[in-house]
Structure 1
């Protein structure tokens, strides 16, 4: 992705944290059927490989897994909070008027080639781990063992798992770092006053640079 130096994130724990905050990633491949994309919940193991490894599954009926099986490079996109930035947020608008709208956002792109697997035991462990992650905090969390064993067995036959060691990571935090401290404060205050929860969440990520003017 286009990533000016001011917005680049290189710290690996921070990149992993941004990935973990994204509940649904986008897996993109180029193969026999052209570009394909699937929206998938994924697990990150930060200890597997120099950049960590991703684990997920998709429907066996989804032809994209064959791209992975054939060795195609995959791009996995993790999107964070985002917000429209109005020129009216900038104090510099009143000074010279040379401002335009933009968009603030967080994103991580992970690249690698995946191993595809259909082993029932391995698939069951993956589905259990994904379920446990997203059921955490519920009053009565659902477990894979709550369903009849034969039903789960049939469901596992309908999916394909994959393990994707991350070969390269790109991270971006576009939070107006290229603007003056006054403009950053103006954006932060404008988003914080918005009724939109995403605007408010992004405002909380923006630094307070007013003391650096």
Structure 2
């Protein structure tokens, strides 16, 4: 990922927070059949291995898990993003030499994708991922709420993913290359937006 020094984010705590808040990631693999990509919810276990491990699952019918990989795999996480109009820049009034841009947060992680079919491991991965997203609900749903035979049948239709992270790239492009006055203008503009994503970017900029 192209990352000018001003936009570099390499604090592990912030990167892990960005990965968890992204909720949906994209698994990308280069294979003998070409590039393959699948959007996936993933569970980050940052206490495993040196850089952490991601867990998830794919549909068994998805050809990505069977394709022979070429080199390392990539998982991308997209954070809050927003269009930035040059009309918000103080420097627009000074000289007019300004153009639109896009502010965004992103994390790219590289590593080894292991696909597994073992039912015990698969059930554990599905349960942990479910518990993560049900945990904030007033009445959380549990995998054990469904009939056992039904769950066994569902597990036969998926394969597990264990992604061992070997390196991480983080980018937080939040107008750090603009003057303080320009940044204030962008924050004010995004804060006044009707779009929640715009307001989220404004919060990050602060």
- TM above 0.5: yes
Question: Is contact 1:71-1:114 (8 Å) kept?
Answer: no
* 1:49 corresponds to: 49
Question: Is contact 1:71-1:113 (8 Å) kept?
Answer: no
* 1:32 corresponds to: 32
Q: Deviations for 1:138-181, whole angstroms, at most 9, x for unmatched residues?
A: 22211111111011001111111121110110000000000000
Pairing of 1:144-155 with structure 2 (within 5 A): 144-155=143-154
Q: Deviations for 1:39-87, whole angstroms, at most 9, x for unmatched residues?
A: 00000010111111111110110010123x6564211000001000000
C-alpha change, 1:153 and 1:71, in structure 2 (3 Å) is farther
Cα distance, 1:20 vs structure 2: 0.7
Pairing of 1:113-192 with structure 2 (within 5 A): 113-192=112-191
Residue 9, structure 1, aligned to residue 18, structure 2: no
Q: Deviations for 1:21-43, whole angstroms, at most 9, x for unmatched residues?
A: 11100011111221111000000
Query: TM-score normalized by structure 2?
Result: 0.97
* Separation (CA, whole Å) in 2 of partners of 1:114 and 1:25: 14
* Separation (CA, whole Å) in 1 of partners of 2:62 and 2:78: 23
Name segments (4+ residues, structure 1) moved above 4 Å.
Answer: 69-72
- Structure 2 gap ranges (5+): none
Matched pairs, number: 206
C-alpha change, 1:192 and 1:152, in structure 2 (3 Å) is same
Question: Is contact 2:25-2:42 (8 Å) kept?
Answer: yes
Q: Superposition RMSD on alpha carbons, in Å?
A: 1.1
Cα distance, 1:11 vs structure 2: 1.0
- Structure 1 gap ranges (5+): 208-213
